[in-house]
Amino acid sequence: MIRVQRVENKKDLKTFVTLPFALYSGDPHWVPPLLKDEYQMFRPDRNPFYAHAEVALFLAYRGTVPCGRIAAVINHRHNEFHHEKTAFFGFYEAEYEEEISFALFAAACDFARENKMTLLRGPMNFSTNETCGMLVDGFERDPVVMMPYNPAFYPRRVEDFGMKKAMDLYSYLYDGEDPHTQRILRLARAVASRHSYGLRPITKKNVFRILEDFKKVYNSSWEKNWGFVPMTPAEMDHLAVQLKDVLEPGLAFLLLDGQTPIGASVSLPDINHVLKALNGRVTLRGLFRAKKAFDGINTVRTLIMGVAPQYRKRGLELLLIAETIRQGMKKGYRFADLGWILENNELMNRELENMGAKIYKRYRVYEMAI
């Protein structure tokens, strides 16, 4: 018999946060998050997302043993922006038995109905501005930084409960030693010779100073995308704090027309290698292992890349791509995870295919009427 109860206190929250460490024990591809960061994510006084959302955390138990978890979320900002009555589920983890997952999904549906929502969608942890989607293809490789990972049976549980595909998200893998690289650099030089656009580096020192410019680019470039929700100033500040610790010179920059920001690209070293070594906690022994792991990183993840709508179809994306390739290879990185990309983003998917990148992971967002 499976029972589901809401997280009500610090002890429950500890169970919620640490449960994946037990569920994924022995899985070579799972990357343990830092426990400190996980706890802060669920603190309304530390996470600005809570200012415009209601979050309910649930745990599933078999007897007295925890065996699953889920978050149910009402993101008022999303619903106002898209004129919807959608609830989201996220942070879903469960043992193999079907009844555990079904009990968790039912709890999320009940929470949504109680709040007069008409649709359940997910997984979102907590929104498209953060980690989202469920891995449906590409289980044989580790996830990269800020991308999800889950067992292969998860999609079956969601679908058997009655949820349908809402949208697929693609991750492309690009090899800097691909023959297309020289062609990309050559085309980018041709584009640069026809225009006078410039690049402004985003660094640990200036990230807060140029935040306002970045916000304008981000909101204008992505506002038409499926599921997009503009970040609040507090959320943008929160993101800057998170990125500041992992930004590497040369891998993040704004594209400028004169002094006007018209595009942005942010790539991060794939620090998941480091997180694996730390195993959730920062200790002296862990830091020693982490140093060795950091030296072995050969991949970056391009977290953000886009150009304002009125500047598209001019080849300007090539300027962002080429600069990322140049800087990444100079620093010794060979591979780039370019994702995620919405399956209906025809322009970007075509650009990535033309440059020789290959889809190597697919993630899915599901939904159902309730």
Compute the chain's Rg from CA coordinates.
21
Residue 215 has pLDDT above 90, yes or no: no
As a whole number of angstroms, the distance between CA 167 and CA 188 comes to 31
pLDDT band per the 50, 70, 90 thresholds, residue 119: very high
pTM: 0.94
Residue 357, classed as helix, strand or coil, is coil
Helix (H, G, I), strand (E, B) or coil at 55: strand
Same domain, 57 and 159: yes
- More confident of the two residues 306 and 139: 139
Evaluate whether residue 336 is within a structural domain.
Answer: yes
Q: pLDDT at position 284, please?
A: 65
Structural domains of the chain, count: 2
Contact (Cβ atoms closer than 8 angstroms) between residue 229 and residue 77 = yes
Q: Which one-letter DSSP state was computed for residue 255?
A: E
Hey, what's the torsion of the CAs at 221, 55, 362, 342, to 10 degrees? -20
The reply to whether 211 and 317 lie within a common domain is yes
Task: Give residue 59's pLDDT band: very low, low, confident or very high (50, 70, 90).
Answer: very high
Are residue 160 and residue 187 in the same domain, yes or no?
Answer: no
Domain boundary among 146, 168, 190: 168
The pLDDT of residue 291 is above 80: no
> Whole-angstrom Cα distance, residue 94 to residue 69?
6
66 and 157 in a single domain? The answer is yes
Asked if 111 contacts 89 with a C-beta cutoff of 8 angstroms, the reply is: no
Give the pLDDT confidence score for residue 177 in this predicted structure.
93
Beta-bridged to residue 135, according to DSSP, are 363
279 and 130, same structural domain? no
CATH code assigned at 293: 3.40.630.30
Q: Over 80: is that where the pLDDT of 288 sits?
A: no
Q: Is the bond leading into 123 cis (omega within 30 degrees of zero)? A: yes
Poorest-confidence range of 134-138, 177-181, 209-213, 350-354?
A: 209-213
Q: Is residue 350 part of a domain?
A: yes
Same domain, 145 and 275: no
Checking if the pLDDT of 78 tops 90, the result is yes
Domain boundary among 118, 150, 168: 168
Residue-wise pLDDT tens digits, 326-346:
999 999 999 999 999 999 999
Residue 267 and residue 334 in one domain: yes
Based on the domain organization, do 278 and 313 belong to the same domain? yes
Q: Which of 168, 199, 226 is the last residue of a domain?
A: 168
CB atoms under 10 Å from CB of 247, counted, come to 22
Per-residue confidence at 209, pLDDT binned at 50, 70, 90?
Answer: confident
| Residue 369 resides in a domain | no
Please list, in sequence order, all residues whose beta carbon lies within 8 angstroms of the beta carbon of residue 248, skipping any fewer than 6 positions away. 268, 269, 331
157, 76: one domain: yes
Residues 241 and 334 in one domain: yes
Q: Please give the structure tokens belonging to residue 145.
A: 């930084």
Q: Which domain holds residue 159?
A: 2-168
* Predicted pLDDT at 46: 95
Mean pLDDT is lowest, of 52-66, 81-95, 264-278, for: 264-278
User: Greatest CA separation found in the chain?
Assistant: 69
Per-residue pLDDT, 221? 74
Q: Are 67 and 61 in contact (CB under 8 A)?
A: yes
Residues 56 and 21 reside in one and the same domain: yes
